[in-house]
Every structure is written in C-alpha cells, then in structure tokens.
A and B are shown apart, each in its own frame.
Chain A
C-alpha cells in the first residue's frame, strides 16, 4: 500500500465512475449525500437561509419561505451560494434579492 498506487487507483475509479455510481459508493461508505436540488429543499424546509444582499439578480418570495419553513422575522439561514441558482420557481419573483449564505462555509 503506497500513496502512488492509491492515487492511480483513485484516478482509475474517478475516470470510470458515473455520478449515480459515485453517489451509491458514497452512501455505502456512510456519507449522507444530497444532490444539490435536494439540499435546497431540505434546507428550505428545515430552517436556514436568508441573510443580507449578496446577490442581486434573483428574488425570493420571503412570505412563502416563511410559510413553508416557519422562519421568524429574525430569519437566519444558511446555504451554499451555488444552490441559489436552483431555487424552485415558486420561491422566485422579480425584484430585489435577498440571498442565502452558508454560515458554515469557510
């Protein structure tokens, strides 16, 4: 077992693995995996999300978010920035945007 052999094995694995196979392998190893569209739903439905104005080109219907996720006026969310692009249509409206920033992001 040496690092070079491991790297070769990894290269071979990742060169041939499909997205679905990779997800299955991560789950077999114990990881809890979300496709990003699932992450969005999960985060919106639990707590998370909105903070200041980080992005200006999308809008989120806050009333709907409040209704579906029961967030308070002092909403405090977390999110991965790229997920914003996958917000479901019903959460979007024209106008100003408030964005979601993942507090845990380094």
Chain B
C-alpha cells in the first residue's frame, strides 16, 4: 500500500459537508474538463494548493491521506510504462474512431476522457498521478521580444486525481 498526502482547495461553505460526507468527485462534461478524468483532485504540495486558492478566490485548504494499492496507482510521472499505456489507449481510440467514421469534439483535450475510458473499459485505477506544466508568467512577457519562449523550463505541479473515494482518509482543515 502506498501512502500519499494531498492538498485540496475549496470554499468555506463546503468544508462541513466534505468533513462529514466526504468529497464529491468532479465529473467530466463537455463544458467542464477535468484533465485526469473523473475524481477528487489534490495537489501534492501545499504551496500549489495555496496558490490555487488565491487564484480562484477560495480560502480553505484541506489535507488528506491517500492510501492506494501499488497496482491501482496510475503514475504518469515516474512510471514510463504507465505513460506508455496512456499513449497506447489514446492512439487506439483515435484510430478506431476513424474506422467507425466518427469525429470527436476538438475543443477539448482528450486526456481526461482517455483516462475515464481506461478505467471504464480496460482496468480499474484508483489514483492518477500526473504533472501539470506551467510556464513562467514572468518570462512569458518576453516572448514577443524574443519571437519564441525565452526559457524551456517549466514548473511542474503534481496533482492526484482520486477515483476511489475509499482511498481518502483523515481529512483535516489546514490552519494557516
């Protein structure tokens, strides 16, 4: 069993129900994408949760323990074979949709949908771990002067998407 710790930003009025009833998973819709598919999202680092809370006008950070069996963790950062599985399924879906004469909406990235498809049709996954890349907002403004991005470096924000709520334990409110 692997033990992780995750940080989740939310609004004060939701804290009570989360602490008493647990988290309500986010679900992908056409309008609302969730890049790792359906589930409850956590940041690996408290600082990223704090930044998210500031950006989206929330004010509470909850901290949880996430317990996951090793073979139910889909680790898209440290396990290249898992990323290979993601690629394989995504490519297969794109190929087969062509065979079936289908199109998919191009307004959204397919990542979360592919992960949902894997979980629904291929194998059960309880937790997805992935890194969301951010370019520096400070260096971004020099892009026009330079003609292209001045730096290759990106900040990687590690996130967990927990699909199986039984993995979430010991939810606590962080006091800053």
Residues of A within 8 A of B (CB): 1-3, 5-7, 9-10, 13-14, 19, 22-23, 25-26, 28-36, 39, 80, 83, 104
Contact = CB atoms under 8 A, between A and B. Distances in A.
Main secondary structure on B side of the interface with A:
helix
Contact of B117 (A2, A3, A25, A34): A25
Interface string B150-173: 000000000000000000000000
Contacts of B85: 1, 3, 6
A47 B57 CA distance: 36
Interface string B57-100: 00000000000000100100000011011001100110011001
Range, interface on chain B = 35 or more
Contact of B92 (A1, A14, A31): A14
Nearest to A38: B103
Contacts of B103: 33-36, 39, 80, 83
Nearest to B95: A14
B117 A33 contact: no
B51 interface: no
Nearest to A36: B101
B29 to A, nearest CB: 7
B3 interface: no
B24 interface: no
A39 B100 CA distance: 14
B120 A28 contact: yes
